[in-house]
A and B are shown apart, each in its own frame.
Chain A
Amino acid sequence: MSPGRLLAWGGLAALVWLARGLLLPIFLAAALAYLLSPAVAWADALAIRRSVAVGALFAAIVAVLVGGGFLLGPGMLAEGGALMDRLPALARQIDVGLDAVVRELAETAPALRRLLPEGGAWVQRFVLNRGPGEPGDLFEHVGHLFLIAILVPFFAFFLLRDMHRIIAVAMDRLPPQHVETSVAVWRELNGVIGRYIRGVVLDGLVVGALAALGLWASRVPYPLLLGAFAGLANVVPFVGPLLSAAAAGLVVVLTPGQGLAGVGRVVLLFLVIKVLDDTIIQPFTIGRSVHLHPALLLGSVVVGSHAAGVLGMIVAVPVATVLQETVRLLLEHRRVLARRRRPPERLVV
């Protein structure tokens, strides 16, 4: 490699390192672009200019968000504020509820008494340890969230509008004899990622709706909020459904009159939803986009969690799928090249 090229690659690596804070917004923007790309493809087929189609799409999204904000915003802000005010008292109430469940369990099954934790105030300790720190920290967090909220649609807009031009430029720069195979590999991976992201979002919507409906039928409070959480948490394999079931179980514990039977109903509901999700919903939504072995799936989630926390758990599956597909395509490429030695059978009529 020439010194100039080495310098250029080094400069690029340094630039990426300096801009690493943009990785999360770019990742979220790419996910949003994948989600919206079928609408843009539909506009392409109608011969609508990309800039017009993407502009109209974002205008429609902004209109829906502004409308929704006017309708639901004040209520949600009021609920959020009230929840923050009530947080210490709520933590105390949760601890009392948890104590009651532990006592009930100990009375139901005395053999378990030794296994059950002693003491209490676990949630209060958790909440107090994670309360708002310095005002500066709070502003930093709010500023970071605001930046993400601005940057994600900004990047997504330009990805949707200009991606075909970027590809055209890249294809013109590639050596002609490599265009077919390299772009083919990228197209396959692109298809897998797109189907996975759209499938996960659709899956989350269905699971969230089912959870909300089931919780409402079981008379659990806040079914919409818990359903929305179940839909969002569903993005993380294995851990997500457990978290949403735990949150719903916690609400049941806090609700007078539900007791252990209520917790049992919630656990059963989330088990049924999980089975339905694995057997019926996912084959329709995510379908054939992901073929990861369950052990590999779990392993990727664990590795993702260690590497980048919750974000790592979310991106673990698509990253593992891309790696697996890349290896599969490279092996297939080798297999096809091996056929060069054998001439294909001629058509004889």
Chain B
Amino acid sequence: MFDQPLPRWLGWAADPDQLRRTPFLASSPLFTGLPRRLLARLATRFFEKMYHPEEVVFEEGDPGRALFVVVEGAVEITRATAQGPYVLNTLGPGDAFGELALIDDFPRSATARVVTPGRLLILYKSDFDALIEGNARIAVVVMRNLSRRLALYARRSPVIATQPGSETAGPL
């Protein structure tokens, strides 16, 4: 009974942010396959922050502690090269980045910069860990989706990439 959203007559008591956030996360490839009940729990752990153009979300080499999901705007993923920053990818609404922070504590492998005014959802590793302690299914589904992304990335770049032009945007 508690898995159902509020009935219509209780609409006045509904939280519009949460109502918007849950289906939005369901559309993100990283959270595909999560049932609504778990998505709703996961959605409560996200923070939302506004970003202005040219603001840096994180820099290459920074400690990774959170996953980001683009709600609005565009985020450019770049890597420093001898010739200057090389754009690996430009992400839009629904795209997630920084997801490797949920797995290990290696420094960020690229820089994320907001290019148009936008909002990002932020999920901290400690909150994700606390959530999956009681809900192993969240961990299984998210890690499976993440493994698929990693596999896709590995197939795209099967050898060590050294030239900027041969690199593709993978998990950060």
Contacts and interface: CB of A to CB of B under 8 A. Distances in A.
A47 B18 contact: yes
Among B40, B65, B127, B154, residue most surrounded by chain A Cβ atoms (within 10 Å): B65
A179 B49 contact: yes
B66 A180 contact: yes
Contact of A340 (B22, B43, B65, B107): B107
Contact of B124 (A49, A183, A333, A346): A183
Interface in A290-349: 332-333, 336-337, 339-340, 344, 346-349
Interface stretch (A15-23, A167-175, A235-243): A167-175
Nearest to B56: A177
Contacts of A180: 57-58, 62-66, 122
Contacts of A181: 62-63, 65
Contact of B22 (A47, A179, A339, A346): A47
B160 A346 contact: yes
Contacts of B51: 176
Of the candidates A52, A179, A181, A191, the one having the most CB atoms from chain B within 10 angstroms of its own CB is A179
Nearest to A174: B49
Interface stretch (A38-46, A66-74, A98-106): A38-46
Given A46-B40, A184-B124, A332 B105 contact: yes
Given A44-B44, A348-B160, A349-B155, A184 B50 contact: no
Interface in A145-193: 167-168, 171-172, 176-177, 179-181, 183-184, 187-188, 191
A333 B124 CA distance: 15
Interface residues of B, number: 49
Contacts of B155: 349
Interface string B35-65: 0010011011001111100011111011111
A181 to B, nearest CB: 6
B29 interface: no
Nearest to A167: B47
B91 to A, nearest CB: 16
Band of interface residues on A: 20 to 34
A50 interface: yes
A206 to B, nearest CB: 20
A187 B47 CA distance: 11
Given A47-B6, A187-B126, A336 B14 contact: no
Contact of A346 (B2, B62, B105, B161): B161
Nearest to B51: A176
Contacts of A332: 63, 105
A59 B65 CA distance: 38
A339 B15 contact: no
B132 interface: no
Contacts of A179: 49, 122
B15 A47 contact: yes
A191 B59 CA distance: 26
B107 to A, nearest CB: 5
Nearest to B2: A46
Nearest to A55: B13
Contact of B106 (A44, A187, A339, A347): A339
18 contacts: A45-B37, A45-B40, A46-B40, A47-B5, A47-B40, A48-B14, A48-B15, A168-B48, A171-B49, A176-B56, A179-B122, A183-B66, A184-B65, A184-B126, A187-B126, A191-B126, A336-B63, A348-B159
The 6 closest A-B pairs by CB, nearest first: A184-B65, A336-B63, A340-B61, A44-B44, A47-B18, A176-B55
Interface of B: 2, 5-6, 13-15, 18-19, 22, 37, 40-41, 43-44, 47-51, 55-59, 61-66, 105-107, 109, 114, 122, 124-127, 130, 150, 153-155, 158-161
Given A46-B40, A49-B15, 5 more contacts: A47-B15, A171-B47, A176-B57, A177-B62, A337-B61
